[in-house]
Structure 1
């Protein structure tokens, strides 16, 4: 659900950009796919950040004199979940790929790592956890997830650092990358194989095919969709509908007609949620009403064949 909504939003943004710029749609599509590749790069970068924080913590143990401080650093240095990540061949392979040489952490980044460890030690999450040093696997996992959500994600210096190193189009990529990291950490169990597969954003090209088909079919068939929208809206000509509202309607109708595995209700719900993010308050009611009528008409005309039980 998270990734598909992200892909819908990305498609909407690039369809809107193409509409305004009138640039060849294939060039815009190329930029869109590059943007999604950036999401994967950020995901790998953030996983390596966790490993680098652990490496820094292990190094610091030898430099700390008091037992209390050593015990505190061990919460990161010997965390079972991070240890599993550090031995994962699917993650480790990236440091040997030439393209990722400048994408991952370098020696000059250590000041950021030191800052993140210091802020962890000051956090209430850490103070609560240190009272119980001998933790279970689940407690170690909960600790690292809480630490990540409360100390890493909102850290302003880290955000600035990442924005300096990556071309981030808005905050969506970074937000989604953080959420995927959290899902990865949450999925790790004591029984998880050593070399578990990382989160696949393209999901064996299924998601990549989804966004390309959605983008292209919305452009290819927009005149057809516009006639349908104009017929349903009656008192509203296409020129009177706000551009973003219109593109959202076109995309939803595209899913009705060209994505038989996505239930119509799921399509409508997803685009209403997207409308809440990008459009005026009144747009939600307008778009919901149009989509409901369009679906009923197409269903009556036997133009929609849906597999209702299949999840989005």
Structure 2
């Protein structure tokens, strides 16, 4: 979860940097616009030449990090390029610092969002049970068979009986009790009108796969996508727009765990917030501090590849893995590599998992050989 949020922030930072570059270029353009209030003739060709030269100089400054003043360069051109570079740097540094704080704030709310989604499923099941037990049906509401219902679903029942979820719900103060009209509305206007749920209710018995399929369908397509529930989450849950995909993924993993040999379990929730905060802060900042070094390491490893053509998200994932391998001696190499393979599989291209696996295995061996990769304590576990 922590790695996902850092990855997303770094991906977003790249979009911010591109936007800031455009703002800087726009500032150069504004410096060489004709003065429409001047009575003097305007040398449009010279202005355009200066604009192009200043833009090229700005791009050179981006690569080098600064711009030395050249006596042969028109001062007006150098100043426009340098001002644009200062503008870009100031905005980017400010937004980099804001992003790491944003990650930390978002992470603190992810677990609450995840638990809230699971509890909503339980409350929908409770409403479904009350509806099935009614002696008289509401003629204005859609009708479904009473042979079965969400309350009889074995996945939901396992969730309801799972004490760790009950404890987390109480500890976090998460409840839909103040939103029961909304829960009933979702049940009546969304769930009972859904054809797949209606078909599910006509059968008294279901296979394990059918039980899993209907609960995942309700979560994916009704609870999190229908306008009624989506609007509520967007309006009332902090950072929902940023966290919804991750909260859904965590909830789905919990539902799937019901059918595993180990049985139902919650996705790992933080036990040490200070440690997690330090991990986020270090991973994010070390990535940015050593970006050029890690880019060079990748270039050496991708000698038969065009580095520029490697998927941008894959490059972020690979450099994040390098950051973790080289800056967290207590995390085993295998743990790091496996985590980023899973990130690549889930968030990048279909072939990215295998690609990232191959590159990181080779890089880890190379870094061990050169003595750059050193592990200690728990980090020595399973390193072969």
Q: Same fold (TM over 0.5)?
A: yes
Q: CA deviation at 1:43?
A: 0.4
Q: Higher relative contact order at CA 8 Å, sep ≥6: structure 1 or structure 2?
A: 1
TM superposition shift of 1:121: 2.9
User: Do residues 251 (structure 1) and 298 (structure 2) align?
Assistant: no
SS at match of 1:167: coil
Measured against aligned partners, the alpha-carbon deviations of 1:215-245 in whole angstroms (never above 9, x if no partner) come to 2432454575477679999xxxxxxxxx999
Matching residue of 2:79: none
1:85 aligns with 2:155: no
The aligned runs of 1:165-180 (5 Å cut-off) are 165-168=236-239, 170-171=241-242, 173-180=243-250
Moved more, 215-224 or 81-90: 215-224
The answer to whether the 8 Å contact 1:64/1:70 transfers is: no
Candidates 218, 238, 256, aligned match of 2:287: 218
CA contact (8 A) 1:125 1:143 kept: yes
> Could you report, residue by residue, the CA deviation over 1:81-106 in whole angstroms, capped at 9, with x for unpaired residues?
32332233322335544x63xx5324
Q: Deviation per CA, 1:26-59, whole angstroms, max 9, x where unpaired?
A: 7654432220121111101101101111121222
Aligned 8 A contact 2:314 2:348 in 1: no
Q: Alpha carbons of 1:207 and 1:133: their partners in 2 closer, same or farther (altered >3 Å)?
A: farther
Structure 1 residues 73 and 161, CA, compared in 2 at 3 Å: closer, same or farther?
farther
Contact 1:184 1:199 in 2 (8 A): yes
| 1:183 aligns to 2:257 (yes or no) | no
Aligned in 2, Cα 1:150/1:104: closer, same or farther, shift over 3 Å?
same
Q: CA deviation at 1:166?
A: 1.6
**Which stretch shows the higher mean deviation, 112-121 or 296-305?**
296-305
Residues matched between the structures, number: 297
Q: Does 1:303 align with 2:372?
A: yes
Aligned partner of 2:270 in structure 1 is 202
Query: In the alignment, what sits opposite 1:47?
Result: 118
1:36 to 107, 118, 125: 107
Structure 1 residue ranges without an equivalent (≥5): 234-242, 278-286
Tell me if structure 2 keeps the 8 A contact 1:268–1:291. no
TM superposition score normalised by structure 2:
0.56
CA distance in 2 between counterparts of 1:70 and 1:6 reads 40
1:110 paired to 2:185: no
How big is each residue's C-alpha offset from its partner over 1:55-80, in whole Å with a ceiling of 9 and x where there is no partner? 212222344536x9574484113323
Cα RMSD for the two superposed structures = 5.2
Per the alignment, residue 76 of structure 1 pairs with 150
How far apart, in 2, do the equivalents of 1:262 and 1:159 lie? Answer: 40
Stretch moving more, 29-38 or 197-206: 197-206
TM-aligned CA distance change 1:305 to 1:57, over 3 Å: same
**302-311 or 217-226, which deviates more:** 302-311
Give the Cα separation in 2 of the matches to 1:270 and 1:191: 21
Give 1:9 shift. 1.8
User: Whole-Å Cα distance in 2 between the matches of residues 143 and 85 of structure 1?
Assistant: 15
CA contact (8 A) 2:114 2:250 kept: yes
Show the counterpart of 2:193: 122
Instruction: Tell me: CA distance 1:304–1:162, structure 2 relative to 1, closer, same or farther (3 Å).
Output: same
Write the distance in 1 (CA, Å) between the matches of 2:261 and 2:287: 44
